[in-house]
Structure 1
Amino acid sequence: MEAHLLLTLSMLCDILWHMAEGQCLLGDTPPVQPLPGYHRDGDIMIGGLVTVTNFYPDGGPSFTTPPSLEGHGVPISLHYYNFLAFVSAVEEINNSSELLPNLTLGFHIYEPYNNLFLMYRAVINIFSGMESGIPNYSCKTSGPLAAVIEGLPAEQSSEFSSLSWIYRNPQISYTSGNIAMSDTVKFPYFYRTVPSELFLCDGIVKLLKYFGWTWVGIIACNDENSLRAVQILREGIEQNGGCIEFIETIKHSGSLEHQNLYKTYHTVHTSSTEVIILYCNRHYTEFIKQSIIWEASGKIWIFTAESFFTIPSHHTDKQNTFAFSMIKKNIPSFHKFVREVNPVVFPNDSFLEMWWKGLCNDRCPESIQRSCSNDETSDYLIHCDVINSGDSYNVYNAVYALAHALHNMVTSSENTKWGGENERFLDFFPWKLHFYLKNLHFKNVLDEEIFWDENGDLAIGYDITNTIYLTDGTRSNKIVGSYNPYAPPGQEFTVYKEVIMWASTFTEIPPKSRCSPSCRPGFRKLTMKGMPVCCYDCIPCPEGELSNHTGKRFHAIMYMDTCTKCPEDQWPNQKRDACILKMISFLTFKEPLGLTLTFICLFLFLINVVILGLFIHYKDTPIVKANNQALSYILLISLMLCFLCSLVFIGHPDKLTCILRQTAFGIMFSIALSSILTKTITVIMAFHATKPGSKLRKWMGTRVSVSIVLSCSLIQTAVCLVWLSTAPPFPYPNMKSEIGTILSECNEGSIVAFYCVLGYLGFLAGISFIVAFLARNLPDRFNEAKYITFSMLVFCNVWISFIPTYLSTKGKYMVAVEVFAILASTAGLLGCIFFPKCYVILLRPERNSRKALIL
């Protein structure tokens, strides 16, 4: 079945070739008869598919065209170093006494010209060992074929894998980073000395992140590998907050006339992005650099293929390019080989002869400059600066990797004798070689670790090259960074920004590529309807929120998409770009409100002290003795302490003051109200006790009155003790009630206990008011019940109005309301009950007699 398939393929190719009379129907390269392969015999053979010549359409760079190719295009043999690196590595291995000492490597190298048809013909020739290329027929005069080292484009490399799978021969690519070929199930015999393009996509995203480029355009070739990579790029860019303005695809074609480039040029020229990602293979990268697309100036181009073409167009001084290229290494032995080898021993034509003469020019690097006669010198220097290209290094590694795998296989075999009776060993040669390739690990000539990962990809990375054409016509081409996914964490991606040279057209360094400018601090992004997330308006942050430089994306300064809140103890400043500590607010003794309340408190306290002193001084007068003298003293002292209780509410609250505020106030007021209630009861009992035979006389003593006061006060004390033992008040920084301010206040702990304390005071006041109101009209010259009734009316009005006012205020004003309620109600009791008596004592002494009180 396999033989039939290959025979059919070969016959089809030959028929197409002859029927087209030299017209290549399967590719896009001009119709040329391929040169014979370069062959050397050896004990073990290596196949090679090395593209040396790229064809550029007529109208491209003006070089001498070999006669056989006139009218079809211009060949540029920049990749001839790859062929030389292949041969150089084989010769070094054959001359080595340590690597395959008893065996020689041979090779059969073909030039496929980046053409699928010519590639198939070359592959059949390699597998058959004949120039005629008969499928499934081997006519080999040398050793068995070990593997094929190829430098095919991604699509052709994938096509070639179908043949290598049939023959079970390893395929080692030094150029194809085809993402799909990392699948070891579909491509079990594929290896490469370049990283997968999956890592290339990741490297591009990291470069965008580094410079903060969130608005990009993509131009890609219309092939399966490029389109798959573009999809991965899109996902990576969008996951990191970037957006893609456009994606343009270019179809493969052989000439500019067949390219619809004007649409792509118009898209690039009118786009607002400054960054264009060009995802194409090297051939089409060079093609685009000579097309009208490249005339869209003022752009930053990111190439996914290293560009060798060195003749700039008239717009190159306005371009900046970043290229992800294979890591370049200087291999001294290879330089020596190029300098000293005789070019006569290689297949040659008129153009390659000119290429060799270019090495004679004294402007070439000394490491490869050859000694030539005057007539050999050529001005063709376009290839001199690319000898250290990544491809040559990768070819070198590919040959040495295969040689080390062969060496490990041969030395580990029980029978190392080749030929003769051990021919059956050769039949299984390709199958056995795979095991040693997968487990390969060695150091190359540069003392670098070489090994393949689980996907058959070489564990190396990329160099990031910056190219810019200066105004004086010179070109700056420098390595400005690297990306190696196999490096230790934190060292995978590196950029040397001080080495980068930017075009003079950029007004901002480094340039910024964004759909919308960054929002200033204090503003946030508002996405425009129907536009990508990278396109937005900037609106101020809402009250209490801020935005600043702390929100970073792509490593450049990017302001936050949304505004954030400060920590609870902080608040945005006026510009809303930084957090500042909130102002702590509480009622202090220094501010006017606190100072006023303190003065009123002390003033009323002094009045209370004066009244108490006056009552002590006139303790023997009838009006002082009336209605229980001891109760008057208790009431005056309790009112005096109530005035002092209001001072605890002023100042910074702490644990002690929070506990004392409500409990001391509650207990002192309960004593005062209990005393008033007892006074009222005493008035009623005194009236009824004057009747003959009344039994109430025995209840008129001081002991009974004090007992009533203590009993009523102990109830309030018990409520306060329960409150303190379960959920006592505590200092609390209230950060939510007032914007931009921390209200330092006392949390009541148990709000139920707090209202129980107030409720009990209301209960005592209500009972006192009712009893005093009923006794107000008793026939007595100085009926104290009248004044108690009025004092209770004042007290109840103050506290009834206090509750809604207290609940509607916040912070220090809430405290001020409570202090005012305490002072007003206490002053009301003091004034209504004791001022009339002081009036009599001081201004109407004639009334302060027993006779006057009885009448």
Structure 2
Amino acid sequence: MRAHNESHLLLCVCLFLFSFSSHMSSTGPFSCRLNRQFNLNGLHKFGDVILGGIFEINFFSVFSEHFTSEPKDPICYGFDPVGFRQAQTMAFAVDEINRNSKLLPNISLGYSLYDSCGQLGISFRAALSMISGRGEPFQLNESCYGNPPVLGIVGDTSSTRTIAVSSIVSLYRVPMVSYFATCSCLSDRRRFPSFFRTIPSDAFQVRAMLQILRRFGWTWVGLLISDEDYGRHAARSFQSDLAKSGGGCLAYLEVLPWVNDVAELQRIVGIMKKSTSRVVIVFAHPSNMLNLMEEVVKQNVTGLQWIASEAWSAAKVLHTPSYMPFLAGTLGIAIRRGEIPGLRDFLLTIHPDNDILSSKDNNLVKQFWEHIFRCKFVSAGMEVEGQTQERLCTGNEVLRNIETGFLDLSNLRPEYNVYKAVYALAHALHDLLQCVPGSGPFKGQSCGSLQGLEPWQISYYLQRVNFTTDFGDQVSFDENGDALPIYDVMNWMWLPDGSTEVNNVGEVKEMASKIIYLLLDEDKIFWNFESKKPPKSVCSESCPPGTRMARKKGEPVCCFDCIPCSEGKVSNETDSTECTSCPEYFWSNSQRDHCVPKSMEFLSYMEPLGISLTTASLSGTLLCIIVLGIFTRHRTTPVVRANNSELSFLILLSLKLCFLCSLLFIGQPRLWTCQFRHAAFGISFVLCISCILVKTMVVLAVFRATKPGGGSSLKWFGAMQQRGTVVFLTLIQAAICTTWLVSSSPTPHENTEYYNDRIIVECVVGSTVGFGVLLGYIGLLAILSFLLAFLARNLPDNFNEAKFITFSTLVFCAVWIAFIPAYINSPGKYADAVEVFAILASSFGLLLALFGPKCYIILLKPEKNTKKALMGRGTQR
């Protein structure tokens, strides 16, 4: 809360050591005495064991500024009834323990409570007095080491003074339990080996605030700190924890000046006004906030959500009508509020006449009574200057001062920590006295005793204290001397009548397992916004699933762009920093938020291309059936019988098989379809081309037979020879297909190389040589047929079927020559489509070129379908 000044600490330690060495050299090694007596305001009570306390009961002090004579004791003024109540809380706790028969039975506790007056030097004097005696000469052992009168100190109020005092008392291992010092630097066990505290450190205060930020999704916040170590320690801790958690970043970090520096405050408020951050966290004191709020009001900076540190979360000085339009709805961290039964009755017994001690020790009680009987007023003629005077309060005013100030126990926060600190020391002493000799924790398994009690022995047991207060809070200390931290979460509610009410809306605490729990009743929170809902405070909106965060160069990590994941990558979390690649057989969906199985692509019966090719295949098959029917019906006519009608029927049958085998290329490839499709295609086409080749050879043989001496050529082209030739040529293709299927059979394959987003299911030919031989054999027969037909193209008209054969084989060759480059360059299903198209195109070419003219004569020119007409076509022109 209040941090230390290293230069002050070093100076005080040096002064102390110098004073101590001078004292030893002057008095000799066998007697010890104080160099001078400190006259301090305090409260004292005798007992078997004395506990010390340091409290800020007066705000101000005056020191002697001249060194021509012995300096006088400082004069303290500015009485603080709250600080006095804290000291009385310790007195009450000691009195309550003395009346407890279970805790420290047969032992009476006493106390020495001192007023620090808010000054480091006075706190030093008080600490030195408590660890070395109350100022009277005393004799220790030969080495000037002995048991100090005070075995534990409760205090101090300020972190700065606590750091300095603890540095001194730690030299003697005197335990010091603070109820108000929050600087996280005090958790350093090497520097402060005997320091403990019942208030959470600033480190936990920062973690508690981060929990609130996460609860409402505030990642873009501004941070204001006071210009001292308290603020700077808090800022370092906040930045460190913020970076570790990755839950947000700072829009700005500014230091509030201690004095009312108008120019600096204008600059800071101007930054706040321009910033897009809607949340402002402030680690500062009420005085800093007063200066800041004056400038906030002037520049009319509204729409901010303030997060208050413990130092000002309950500061009533800020609850003014002029500040509430800006500060209403503030969320703050406050010291845990507790209840102390019986404290009110104890405070009512405070009276100078009831104090059995000397008048010097009774000074603070007198100050208290003087304070409650003083009332301030503005005299006539002094309104402009605002100066005030004092008068004696009336009876009702005295009662009001007591009830609304000193006896208002509805908000016991530092007092509750004082109460726990006293009980922690009492429990440590109780555990020490319960030790059984021979099983103790000290050297030789010894135990501590009341007669030879050492402060470090109390520190040992204080480290292991574990008890629960009547209010239900567990009190124990970790390895750094910090108690189990707990804070109340406060909310500033602006009531319709203009007043302010600070409500407890939850708590945040850390368990022994280091897990932080935030319990918040959001329905009770007052939000000072038109929506009556928590504001949004982010530099960049969260990146939804399917995108990744891309940091903006030169800007805080909370400022980023949301970049959609590329194809094949996904992010299924909000604010993902990277996109993850999908597994091999998966691909990203359109939203890029999860992976889906890749679609299987093949030439399907359900797609337009597949439907078109299927229709063409079935149409060609049907056309073959129709032509076959026509030829069967007119099988006795000259056109059908000319040039071996049996071969014509065989050609029609093979063409029908060609049309049908194209269906094997459509649909998802299976093992049997991959193996059967090329075999069926190759054999069907060889059967067809073989018939055409034989038919062509027959035409040439018949022409030669018409010439003298050429009749012997017909005996090689009889019906049996024609059939045998067709079968032989077809069996060669069947042997090629069988060898191919046995040696390296085509198989279905899921190809992921063509496309990233889908799988191409295709038939791998297995052996490229086998596939090439199959096509080459068909091509060889086709070329041979074409050459023979081309040679016979100019035969007499009665043998001019060679012209149709020439044209049909020319179409066939042209189609398959074009097929090869198209097939090679077509990926996936389009390769199958190209092959099907080649099969259909060549089949239709053969069908129409060979049988189209004959069907035309049979159906439309029956007068030409006679032997006379057919023979007359050979007449020379």
Name the TM-score, length of structure 2 as normaliser. 0.74
Structure 2 matches for 1:378-393, cutoff 5 A? 378-379=400-401, 381-382=404-405, 387-393=410-416
Report if aligned partners of 2:206, 2:237 keep a CA contact under 8 Å in 1: yes
Which whole-Å CA distance do the structure 2 matches of 1:162 and 1:55 have between them? 24
Q: Go from structure 1 to structure 2 and tell me whether the alpha carbon gap of 1:115 and 1:392 turns closer, same or farther (over 3 Å shift).
A: same
Closer, same or farther: CA 796–697 of 1 in aligned 2, 3 Å: closer
Going from structure 1 to structure 2, the CA distance change for 1:394 and 1:414 (only over 3 Å counts) comes to same
Deviation (angstroms), 1:412: 0.3
**Aligned partners of 1:509, 1:633: CA distance in 2, in Å?**
89
Number of the residue aligned with 1:446: 471
Q: How far 1:166 sits from its partner (Å)? A: 0.9
User: How far does residue 502 in structure 1 lie from its aligned partner after superposition?
Assistant: 1.7
State the shift of 1:119 in Å.
Answer: 1.5
AA in 1 matched with 2:340: I
Write the distance in 2 (CA, Å) between the matches of 1:260 and 1:399. 44
Q: Distance in 2 between matches of 1:630 and 1:463?
A: 106
CA gap 1:520/1:84 in 2 versus in 1, 3 angstroms? same
What letter matches 2:779 in structure 1?
Answer: G
SS at 1:200's partner residue?
helix
Indicate the SS of the match to 1:378. Answer: helix
> Does 2:332 match 1:332?
no
**CA displacement, residues 390-421 of structure 1 (integer Å, 9 cap, x when unaligned):** 322221111111111111111105299xxxxx
Write the distance in 2 (CA, Å) between the matches of 1:82 and 1:659.
92
The answer to whether 1:278 aligns with 2:292 is: no
Q: Aligned residue for 1:832?
A: 849
The DSSP-based 3-state class of the residue aligned with 1:606 is helix
Task: Sort the Cα spacing of 1:771 and 1:275 in 2 relative to 1 into closer, same or farther, 3 A.
Answer: same
Closer/same/farther in 2, CA of residues 133 and 841 from structure 1, 3 Å limit = farther
Per the alignment, do residues 815 and 158 of structure 1 end up closer, same or farther by CA in structure 2, a change over 3 Å counting?
Answer: farther
Note closer, same or farther for the CA distance 1:827–1:487 as it changes in structure 2 (3 Å cut).
Answer: farther
Indicate the residue corresponding to 2:866 in structure 1. Answer: 846
User: In the alignment, is residue 322 of structure 1 matched against residue 338 of structure 2?
Assistant: no
Q: 2:614, 2:410 → 1: CA distance?
A: 92
Residue 821 of structure 1, CA deviation: 3.6
- Structure 1 distance, partners of 2:137, 2:745, is 103
Instruction: Tell me, yes or no, if structure 1 residue 111 matches structure 2 residue 115.
Output: yes
Deviation at 1:94, TM superposition (A): 1.0
Change in CA separation of 1:237 and 1:159 when aligned onto 2, cut-off 3 Å: same
Measure, in 1, the Cα distance between the counterparts of 2:180 and 2:771.
Answer: 88
Is it true that 1:514 corresponds to 2:538 in the alignment?
Answer: yes
Change (3 A) 1:184 1:375: closer
Q: 2:132 aligns with which of 128, 132, 147?
A: 128
Query: 1:733-748 maps to which residues of 2 (within 5 A)?
Result: 736=756, 747-748=761-762
Amino acid at match of 1:221: S
C-alpha distance 425-11 of structure 1, shift in aligned 2 (>3 A) = closer
Opposite residue 159 of structure 1, the aligned amino acid is: A
In structure 2, what is the equivalent of residue 674 of structure 1? 686
Q: Distance in 2 between matches of 1:83 and 1:186?
A: 27
User: Is the CA contact (8 Å cut-off) linking 1:462 and 1:482 kept in structure 2?
Assistant: yes
Partner of residue 97, structure 1: 101
Distance 2:60 2:271 in 1: 27
Among 776, 781, 795, the residue aligned to 1:763: 776
- Partner SS for 1:404: helix
Q: 2:417 matched to which residue of 1? A: 394
Q: What letter corresponds to residue 424 of structure 2 in structure 1?
A: A
Tell me the alpha carbon deviations over residues 99-133 of structure 1, each in whole angstroms, 9 at most, x when there is no partner.
11021111111222332222211111111221589
Letter in structure 2 aligned against 1:439 = R
Give, in whole Å, the separation in 2 of the partners of 1:275 and 1:135: 61
The correspondence for 2:228, drawn from 211, 223, 229, is: 223
682-691 or 431-440: bigger deviation: 682-691
CA distance in 1, matches of 2:250, 2:596: 39
CA distance 1:733–1:224, change in 2 (3 Å)? same
Does the CA contact (< 8 Å) of 2:682 and 2:775 recur in 1? Answer: no
Contact 2:782 2:809 in 1 (8 A): yes
For the residue of structure 1 that corresponds to 2:174, the secondary structure is coil
Q: Alpha-carbon deviations, 1:206-264, whole Å to 9, x = none?
A: 2222222232222212334532331232244355353323222245x5x6479964544
* In 1, Cα distance between equivalents of 2:784 and 2:113: 123
Pair 1:831–1:527, CA change in 2 (3 A): same
Q: How far apart are residue 478 of structure 1 and its match?
A: 1.4
Secondary structure in structure 2 of the residue aligned to 1:377: helix
Residue 195, structure 1, aligned to residue 200, structure 2 = yes
Distance, in Å, in 1 between the alignment partners of 2:16 and 2:98 is 35
Counterpart residue identity of residue 163, structure 2: S
Residues 685 and 257 (structure 1), Cα distance of their counterparts in 2 relative to 1, 3 Å cut: closer
Q: Which moved more, 1:837-846 or 1:132-141?
A: 132-141
Pair 1:249-2:258 in alignment: no
8 Å Cα contact 1:670/1:712 also seen in 2:
yes
Q: Find the counterpart in structure 1 of residue 54 from structure 2.
A: 49
Distance 1:213 1:264 in 2: 21
Residue among 711, 730, 746 paired with 1:709: 730
Residues 256 and 838 (structure 1), Cα distance of their counterparts in 2 relative to 1, 3 Å cut? closer
Instruction: Output aligned runs, 1:163-242, within 5 Å.
Output: 163-238=168-243, 240=246, 242=248
Q: Is the 8 A contact 1:195 1:459 kept in 2?
A: yes
Partner Cα separation in structure 1 for residue 554 and residue 600 of structure 2: 46
1:219/1:276 contact within 8 Å kept: yes
2:199/2:335 contact within 8 Å kept: yes
Larger Rg belongs to: 2
Within a 5 Å distance, the mapping from 1:789-804 to structure 2 comes to 789-802=806-819
Separation in structure 1 between the aligned mates of residue 18 and residue 324 of structure 2, nearest angstrom: 45
Distance 1:838 1:545, change over 3 A: closer
Going from structure 1 to structure 2, the CA distance change for 1:143 and 1:201 (only over 3 Å counts) comes to: closer
**Structure 1 length-normalised TM:** 0.76
Residues 132 and 149, structure 2, Cα contact 8 Å, conserved in 1: no
Task: Tell me the matched-pair count.
Answer: 781
Query: Is 1:613 aligned to residue 639 of structure 2?
Result: no
Alpha-carbon distance, 1:286 to partner: 6.3
Equivalent position amino acid for 1:644 in 2: L
Query: Structure 1: how far apart are the matches of 2:253 and 2:181?
Result: 23
Tell me how far apart the structure 1 counterparts of residues 581 and 61 of structure 2 sit (CA, whole Å). Answer: 60
Distance 1:535 1:790 in 2: 74
TM-aligned CA distance change 1:283 to 1:39, over 3 Å: farther
Corresponding residue SS for 2:192:
coil
Distance 2:137 2:542 in 1: 63
Shift of 1:662: 5.0
Where 1:643 maps in the other structure, the secondary structure is helix
What amino acid maps onto 2:629 in structure 1? G
Q: 1 CA distance for matches of 2:782 and 2:845? A: 14
1:176 is paired with a residue of what secondary structure?
A: coil
Instruction: Write the mapping of 1:574-613 to structure 2, written as runs, cut at 5 A.
Output: 596-613=612-629
Task: Give the percent of matched residue pairs that are identical in Structure 1 and Structure 2.
Answer: 30
Secondary structure at the aligned position of 1:466 is classed as: strand
1:412 is paired with a residue of what secondary structure? coil
Q: Which residue of 2 aligns with 1:483?
A: 508
Partner Cα distance (2:14, 2:219) in 1:
50
1:431 counterpart letter in structure 2:
W
Query: In structure 1, the residue corresponding to 2:330 is in which secondary structure?
Result: strand
Which residue type is aligned with residue 503 of structure 1?
A: N
Q: Any residues of structure 2 matched to 1:233-632 within 5 Å, and which? A: 233-238=238-243, 240=246, 242-250=248-256, 256=260, 261-280=265-284, 282=285, 292=295, 297-298=301-302, 299-307=304-312, 308-311=314-317, 312-313=319-320, 314-319=322-327, 320-338=329-347, 345=355, 347-348=363-364, 352-353=368-369, 374=396, 376-379=398-401, 381-382=404-405, 387-414=410-437, 426-427=451-452, 429-470=454-495, 472-486=497-511, 492-504=517-529, 506=530, 509-515=533-539, 530-535=554-559, 552=574, 571-572=589-590, 596-617=612-633, 632=648
Q: Deviations over 1:505-538 (max 9, x none)?
A: x557212233456789999877665443444678
The AA in structure 1 aligned to 2:723 is T
Map of 2:70 onto structure 1: none
Q: Work out the CA distance in 2 between the residues paired with 1:565 and 1:534.
A: 25
Instruction: Identify unmatched segments of 5+ residues in structure 1.
Output: 15-32, 58-67, 359-371, 417-421, 554-559, 738-742
CA distance, structure 1, for counterparts of residue 637 and residue 555 of structure 2: 94
